[in-house]
Structure 1
């Protein structure tokens, strides 16, 4: 059901997210930079700083913060990109840590290392590396976006190290990075092997799997058809309590908007393990998540969990 701007604002207020009006609808509204009070805004599980593919569109820390203010995002997770398949311009853990050190009340750093790097030759060396970053403030590992099968032995080493250090891992799945098959059997192998590691799903392959009956090609894309029964996400979430979903990027928004009736019920059903995210990574980028949540009707407590409470609990922010 479509909500009016007044109704949408009311639902946000009831969820403890402040009085957010229809400011997202127009360019004029984007010029406003409202003051965000602690405990009232979104917590965005997925952002980046630096350059992704276009050197003319570098996103500075200040640029990210300005965008956050425009869209009532109180805090953002800053994800490095450290694998050659993940981006044209690598984004380092050190940059994420430095940004969070400069703005500790707004930015939450994650850490990342490509599992093929020479120093990461053993679980012990990975644990030592990750622990140093955690000691500097890293709250998780990711974005884990690597050109290997999801359960390749090198990838499994990373999962083992994250489990030992005690941080969640945010992963990307498609037909190029974190490669899997319809039904996400490789992901399930990792979930089963590392039950104490919280996995956070993201990417076309993950979100396409909200539906059953996928082909391998569809696993790497953005299916637009109605959701079919037998989706791997629901199945895996029902059996593995260490599995979460990051509702960012076009893939996350598409998974819900392609079938709003199913998507709404899915969000309610999985309300304790779905995390608001945008994948904001370049100045002027269109972010469909805000429009999406104007289209769907959710109980206030469900919105609050998805918008911020689940992230606070998972990342131990209090």
Structure 2
């Protein structure tokens, strides 16, 4: 009997050691999962209000990788309208928002597949007879806004006003691409729309929006350079109209701030409650070194010119959550 004692002792030690190892493994896995969850929840919110499916042929997989590389936590997809041959689409030249972008159904499909990554807006060619029913269909399916409206119509045309009425009825914002003599014509009159629809939030985007940060802007110059004279139309309307906002995306947004960084820094602070981060870039990489990735360049520029963390977070996510009513 005494000879068996060492064996029993060894067995007890082996069981104790095994239990300790198992417990240690479980604790280690639990700690790793907890650290991963904490890291994910600690990641700052970055909402991109301006991206597209099939942007110049980019795949959905590359879009997802692009957004993840930039650190985007939620993306708003902006679909194209129908392929309609008419003056408002420049007789077909502006199909797919002039970038081969796909329509409502493609955006809706991607949202259903990745509800944690994407939300979407509804869209249609402004002056099509069935524009309002088409947009309303997707608003009922959960679209959080209307846009990107990028068609050759007067910004205060009868058809545009019907669309603004729809936005008012559903309590959603409208995002418009303003480009001199090309899309949403009559920017100088848009303040009248802001006054007519005080409960509708309008988000202005593109060359004419951003050229008009400058009081000395010449409308035909889509990518102006040099020092900015404060007090342009966009600057005034952001100050005077609670329902007017600006989308920072694309080369036009980037140009407005890089042409005069001193003015840009003051503009960011002055309008920190009215500016919404967007990318609108077509590349697949999502890094500042990529020449077409204006989205990652704008992120870096905001971090450079906006030292106040609270203001940065408004621009990166807070304003968008408020305007688009995102949880």
TM-score by length of 1: 0.79
Residue equivalent to 1:158? 163
Kindly report which structure 2 residues correspond to 1:22-101, keeping only aligned pairs within 5 A, or say none.
Answer: 37=41, 40-52=44-56, 58-82=57-81, 83=89, 84=92, 85=94, 86-87=97-98, 89-101=100-112
Contact 2:145 2:172 in 1 (8 A): yes
TM-score by length of 2: 0.77
Residue equivalent to 1:298? 307
Kindly report which structure 2 residues correspond to 1:107-126, keeping only aligned pairs within 5 A, or say none.
Answer: 107-120=118-131, 126=132
User: Which structure's relative contact order is higher, taking Cα pairs within 8 Å and 6+ residues apart?
Assistant: 1
Does 2:208 match 1:205? yes
Residue equivalent to 2:175? 170
Displacement of 1:147: 0.7
Contact 1:168 1:198 in 2 (8 A): yes
Equivalent-residue separation in structure 2 for 1:36 and 1:210 (angstroms):
37
- The alignment of Structure 1 onto Structure 2 pairs a total of residues equal to 268
Q: Secondary structure at the match of 1:244?
A: strand
CA root-mean-square deviation = 1.8
Contact 2:275 2:315 in 1 (8 A): yes
Residue equivalent to 1:317? 326
- Structure 2, gaps ≥5 residues long: 1-38, 82-88, 286-291
Please state which structure has a larger fraction of its residues in helix.
2
Q: CA, structure 1 residues 139+41, in 2 after alignment: closer, same or farther (shift >3 Å)? A: same
Q: Secondary structure at the match of 1:118?
A: coil
- Structure 1, gaps ≥5 residues long: 1-34, 53-57, 121-125
Q: Deviations over 1:88-145 (max 9, x none)?
A: 535201111111111001111111011221223xxxxx2x443321221210110011
Equivalent-residue separation in structure 2 for 1:294 and 1:88 (angstroms):
29
Equivalent-residue separation in structure 2 for 1:286 and 1:133 (angstroms):
29
2:185 maps to which of 174, 179, 183: 179
Displacement of 1:229: 3.1
* Higher mean C-alpha deviation, range 290-299 or range 98-107: 290-299
Contact 2:54 2:102 in 1 (8 A): yes
Q: CA, structure 1 residues 39+186, in 2 after alignment: closer, same or farther (shift >3 Å)? A: farther
Q: Deviations over 1:275-308 (max 9, x none)?
A: 1111023435322313323532420100011011
Higher-Rg structure is 2
Displacement of 1:39: 5.8
Does 2:220 match 1:217? yes
Does 2:237 match 1:232? no
Displacement of 1:72: 0.7
Equivalent-residue separation in structure 1 for 2:65 and 2:108 (angstroms):
19
Displacement of 1:36: 5.0
Q: Secondary structure at the match of 1:164?
A: helix
Equivalent-residue separation in structure 2 for 1:38 and 1:316 (angstroms):
22
Equivalent-residue separation in structure 2 for 1:262 and 1:216 (angstroms):
20
